[in-house]
Amino acid sequence: MIGNIDQAYLIRLINRVEPVIKRKVRYLIYQTTELTDELMDSLDSKPVLLWSNALN
């Protein structure tokens, strides 16, 4: 995840969904300034956009 994330709310949601999907959810939180092309290339999997406040 990138940006200003409400970590307590995220953990509550993860705790609710893990038993439903029968899988462990892992997450990383990066500040927007930490996002670089090198970081994106080094990730094992591609990120999934959860939401955006940008108008397209």
Any domain includes 20: yes
10-residue mean pLDDT profile of the chain (56 residues): values are 78 94 86 72 71 64
Q: What local confidence, expressed as pLDDT, does residue 18 receive?
A: 94
Q: What local confidence, expressed as pLDDT, does residue 2 receive?
A: 63
- For residue 14, the enclosing domain spans 7-42
Q: What local confidence, expressed as pLDDT, does residue 22 receive?
A: 94
Q: Which pair of structure tokens corresponds to residue 13?
A: 């949601």
Q: What are phi and psi of 21, to 5 degrees?
A: -90, -5
| Number of domains, the chain | 1
Any domain includes 29: yes
